[in-house]
Each structure stands twice: as structure tokens, then as C-alpha cells.
Amino acid sequence: MLTKLSQADWIERARAVLPGGGFGNFDPSIFIREGKGSRAWDEDGKEYVDLLIGSGPMLLGHGHPEVLEAVQEQLPKGMTFFANNARGVELAEEICSAVACADQVRYVSSGGEADMYAIRLARAFTGRDKIVKFEGGYHGMSAEAQMSLAPTRMVNFPQAVPDSAGIPESVRAEMLIAPFNDPDYIRSLLAEHGKEVAAIIVEPLQRIIPPEPGFLQLLRDEADKYGIVLIFDEVVTGFRFAYGGAQELYGVIPDIATLGKIIGGGFPLAAIAGRAEIMAHFDKAAVGAEKWLMQLGTLSGNPVAAVAGLKTMEVLRREGQYDKLRANGRRLMEMAKAALNARGIPHRIVGDPTLFEVVFTTGEIRDYRDVFASDTARATRFNAVLMQNGLFKSPGKTYPSLALTEADFEVCEAAYDKAAQAIAQE
């Protein structure tokens, strides 16, 4: 009989073979054993309401029976081929039908890859090198994306601050950093550098910070003015904010969107989706060797992820799904607000009902520096108490899902109350 290992045992084993004892994604002291529906269990058997949901992809909850059925039907037929397959084409057709900017799709395996290739694609299309990125915006792990992601040293815009070792100094020279939600600054920046800029890349909702009215349209207008490719990073917001993503919700259409998480139904899959004339640079026969962007990936468009994504998207198209998701999110937001207001604790609930977080501040949250200036120590304590009381979540985001039940909301309400009480007693 095999001896069951505790979480402490797994932590010790992980430290021997993994840098920092983890995968680099999350608190390495937490080992999740399994997930089902809205719940997750760690290796010690502690049960949580899961408000992390894999950092977003499990919008239907863990192990949705229809998704499992689709995957189980595909598995005996093959897991990957490094060749075209019909399911991948069907998924691309559905993405192009749903996403306004998408004439064509190219698959990769992760959102970070999609963002990296979107930036490279914009450079291939425009023949320019510079990229505008917003301070605090997350676009994966490429050298460009790791500029001013989470700087602890505030410098003058548009100077970039590298967030990682190993990035050549030359990359910094090609990055222009701007504050989110600042129309005047972006106008002045592009007035000076617009003809050198290949792309503006932006999360339509930057981490948790909503765009102020008119800001995304301004980016669209300025991009058109200077011949710049506008990239919406919709790896998180795609098929979460609405079936057509943030571009549907906000009514602003980019030239390229990057997608991930939900389109793979919990399996590794992401995509670059964009206008045909831009996407043509993936086709050597269409643009010639000098303008061709080489891209390939062993698992890109694999049929298992494709069928999982197709079934997930089919479920999301059913009547009332997005109303339910937003209602679930609003309910969680109100629980947190009520618990904190009852104790007079200054805070802001920042984001969208489908993706939000509590920020401890008395001021408005418009950009990264506003979040940086908030009481992050209080936020850390608040989130730690939520975890202790059965909510599994990111330290910076809350991901509602369609799987949440009345029993889950009872756990959440009690946990928010305990966390607010802990903050009040400090």
C-alpha cells in the first residue's frame, strides 16, 4: 500500500528539484490535489472555493462534464499531430466568427507566446521597431513584456525599467512606456515618436484597472493617425467579458487580439487573431521571404485543446451564461464591500464583475502607480485570511466562475467577514 504524502512532504520534494520550490506561478507552499466544479482540494485535503480557477481558464469550473466528454472522445483518436487537424480549423472558424478583429488565427500554446508573436507581427507589418506599452501591463515573459511590468522604482515616462535579469539593454531602447488612462500623455508621446512605433499593446482591462471612458477609442484613433498596429491583449478578457471579448464590451476594435485561457478549455492553447493583411505575414507565399514571420510550435492547435475549447465556447453561447457570470461577480463584490464598510475600512473594489480585486486605498485607481501606492501590506493580510477561511485565489485578482453555488457564496461571505475583521483588529 502506498503511503499518502502530506503537503509538507511535497514541499520538501519540490525544493530539491524546482527553483524556489515551485513552478513560478503561485505560492509554492500550496499543492492542489484536485478540482471539481467550483471547489479545489490541497494535498492535505483542505477544501477551498476556487476563485483562481487556473488563473482564468476554468470559467465553467473544473471537470465540466460536457468538456470531459469531448476530450475523452478525442483522446483515442490522437493527442497531437504537428499537422493540421479538423478540430483546430473548427475552433479557428468559431473564433473568427466571435471576435470582431479576427479575419484569421494562428495558434500557439500560451498567452505569453501569443503576445510575443503579436509584437513581432506588428514589426513585420509596419517595418518599424518601437513598441508602446503601459506601465503595469502584463503581456507574458518576452523581453519586451518584461519592461515596466511591476517596477518598484518610479522613473520618468517613457523610460522603460526591466523587471527581469537577462534582458539586453538594446531592448529597453525600443520600448516606450506610458501611464494607463492618460490621454494627454499618449497623444504627446505619439506626436514625438508615432512614425517610429510599430504597435501599441494594451490590456483593455489592465490587470484589474478599467479603461476610462474614451481611452481605448483614443488609442484606436491615434493608432490610425500614425499607421500603428493596435494590439489588444485579450488572453484574460477574451470570452470572459463577453463572448466577443473586451472589444465587444467596449466597442473598440483592435488590429490584432491575443487570446488564451478559455479558448483551450483548460488545456494549453492560445492564438493571435487579426486582420487578414497583417496575418498574411505568417504566410511566406503571400508576402515573400523578407517579410515572412516564421512561427511554429509542437503543440500548436492540438486537437485535444481544440475540442475542449470548442465545447467550452458552445456552453458559453447558451442563453444567460454571461448574465449569470456577471451576477456571480457582482455578488462577490458586494460581499467584500459590505464586510469592509461595516468596519469602516477604506477600500476600492476595482475591475469588472467578471474579474476584480479589493484595493486598500482612499484614492481613485486609474493606473499602476495608484495601485502601487495603495496599502499592499493590508491587501496581503486580507488575502491570507481569505485563504485560511477557504477561498483559493490570486493575491491580486478574483476570478468568478459559472460553477459557483449557493453553498460557495455562504463560504465566501463568511471568509470576507473574517478577513475584514482581521484587518479591523490590526
Mode of pairing for the β-strands spanning 256-259 and 270-274: antiparallel
Grid coordinates standing for 193? 515618436
Instruction: Please report, as a single letter, which amino acid is at residue 232.
Output: F
What CA–CA distance (Å, rounded) separates 287 from 279?
A: 10
Given the residues 130, 133, 261, 311, select the one marked as catalytic: 261
Q: Give the chain's end-to-end CA distance (angstroms, integer).
A: 48
Q: 216 pLDDT band (50/70/90 cuts)?
A: very high
What CA–CA distance (Å, rounded) separates 348 from 351?
A: 10
Q: 223 pLDDT band (50/70/90 cuts)?
A: very high
In this model, does residue 129 exceed pLDDT 60? yes
In this model, does residue 229 exceed pLDDT 90? yes
Given the residues 182, 233, 367, 408, select the one marked as catalytic: 233
State the pLDDT at residue 382: 98
In this model, does residue 286 exceed pLDDT 90? yes
What CA–CA distance (Å, rounded) separates 259 from 105?
A: 10
Q: What is the pTM of this model?
A: 0.97
As a whole number, mean pLDDT of residues 324-336 equals 98
Q: How far is CA 208 from the centre of its chain?
A: 10
Max CA distance (Å), the chain: 71
Given the residues 48, 107, 117, 138, select the one marked as catalytic: 138
3-state secondary structure of 240: coil
Grid coordinates standing for 128? 518599424
pLDDT digits (tens, 9 = 90+) for 370-417: 999 999 999 999 999 999 999 999 999 999 999 999 999 999 999 999
State the pLDDT at residue 283: 98
pLDDT digits (tens, 9 = 90+) for 149-204: 999 999 999 999 999 999 999 999 999 999 999 999 999 999 999 999 999 999 99
Backbone angles phi, psi at 41, to 5 degrees: -130, 140
- The domains located in the chain, with CATH, are 31-63+320-424 (3.90.1150.10), 66-316 (3.40.640.10)
Residue 36 designated active-site: no
Could you tell me where the DSSP H helices lie in 180-320?
183-193, 215-226, 246-250, 276-279, 284-287, 303-316
State the pLDDT at residue 2: 63
Residue 138 designated active-site: yes
Residue 397 designated active-site: no
Please state, for a pLDDT cut of 70, what percent of the chain lies above it.
100
